Amino acid sequence: MSCLLITGGAGFIGSNYVHLKAQGEHRLIVADALHYAGRREYLQPLIDSGRITFIQADIRDTDLMTQIIEREQVNAVVNFAAHTHVDRSISDPAPFYQNNVEGTCSLLTAALRVFVEQGRGGRYHQVSTDEVYGTLGPDDPAFTELTPFAPNSPYSASKASADHFVRAFHVTYGLDTTISHCSNNYGPYQFPEKLLPLALSRLLYGEKIPVYGDGQQRRDWLYVGDHCRGIDLILEHGRSGERYNIGGGVEISNLQFLRALYQTLCTVMAEHPRLAERYPHFFAAGAAKAAGAQAGSFDPGLVPDFVAVVEHVTDRKGHDRRYALCDDKVRTELGYRPQMDFARGLKHTVLWYIEHDLDWHIFNA
């Protein structure tokens, strides 16, 4: 595939995918509306070097999307463009319908015009989520691609609706499509309202981490780089009209995830003691500050216990209790394997956020 149109490429997963594909030889067109979670600076080095062409555009503009696909001779579209925050979807569902459902239908229409009606050929890939499957009980088997959709939040309902449109365009019009469903992603470039950057920011600035309910909700965690490699396998080699789950194989509770993050941060602080100067409020959550820890020094023995840095808050409405993905299909058919183990991925992510110091804390005020 010589030219890719990557929509939503300035967001979390999309920008990671752009950076992955920029290592290859494909010509890359990146379109993003730059809503609140999209950041041009994620891609600025690639824009400045001429490696990618960036267009600020809304996928709901069908004519513009058609012009881009036609003019740039695009032969594959990968759609990351979506509003994704569940809490925002609960408080205001309409933008999720408008962006995730109407936007997908618009982009599909543009792809159909060029790939099918003009006979140029091309593939459309939709990036979706495991949340479309609903929730699992503690002993239920993991979701497979045959699990019926049962979304419980406005966000997941919008993604399920979009997936149905993708399937319908394949069956009705013969558009070459694939869909991927991922588990919870973590890694660089994630917007600070999500669990990992939010928790990391709170810890570094001496604030408690808010935990919904009892914190025993279980999720499967997937490093974003592995997710992007899985998407690429599906785009290049997946069967037309098929859906593929992409999992990380790390099913743990939210509290277990946060404990692992906290322990990783403590390890990083111990290995880089001068970070205590940069983040003196890391000690303010408990015993370390009371013990008189000095700036420029770090003693892991003075760090508060994990229970002292979390604060349980009222649970989210309709909060899904458990997600777990079976990704045997993508492993068997396409040879997908996660490459980043959880401990290494978590440490890499913590170091990335500290190194880039993008002032995440201002978003959490």
Q: Which residues are known catalytic residues?
A: 130-131, 155
Count other Cβ atoms within 10 Å, centred on residue 230.
26
Three-class SS state of 210: strand
CA within 13 Å, CB half, 363: 16
Structure-block tokens of residue 301: 């023995």
**What's the CA angle centered on 29, arms 28 and 35, to 5 degrees?**
130
Structure-block tokens of residue 37: 């979670």
Select from 11, 5, 12 the least CA-distant residue to 52.
5
- The C-alpha atoms of residue 309 and residue 289 are separated, in whole angstroms, by 13
Structure-block tokens of residue 186: 């973590």
If you search the block for the tokens 């002993």, which residue do you land on?
Answer: 139
Please list, in sequence order, all residues whose beta carbon lies within 8 angstroms of the beta carbon of residue 308, skipping any fewer than 6 positions away. 285, 286, 287
What are residue 7's DSSP bridge partners? 31, 79
Answer for the pair 269, 301: CB distance below 8 angstroms, yes or no: no
Pairing assessment for the beta strands 52-56 and 27-32 based on DSSP bridges: parallel
- The C-alpha atoms of residue 131 and residue 191 are separated, in whole angstroms, by 19
Answer for the pair 217, 322: CB distance below 8 angstroms, yes or no: yes
Helix orientation angle between 342-356 and 254-271, rounded to the nearest 10 degrees: 60
- The C-alpha atoms of residue 4 and residue 73 are separated, in whole angstroms, by 9
Structure-block tokens of residue 217: 């909700």
Select from 124, 130, 121 the least CA-distant residue to 106.
124
- The C-alpha atoms of residue 348 and residue 353 are separated, in whole angstroms, by 9
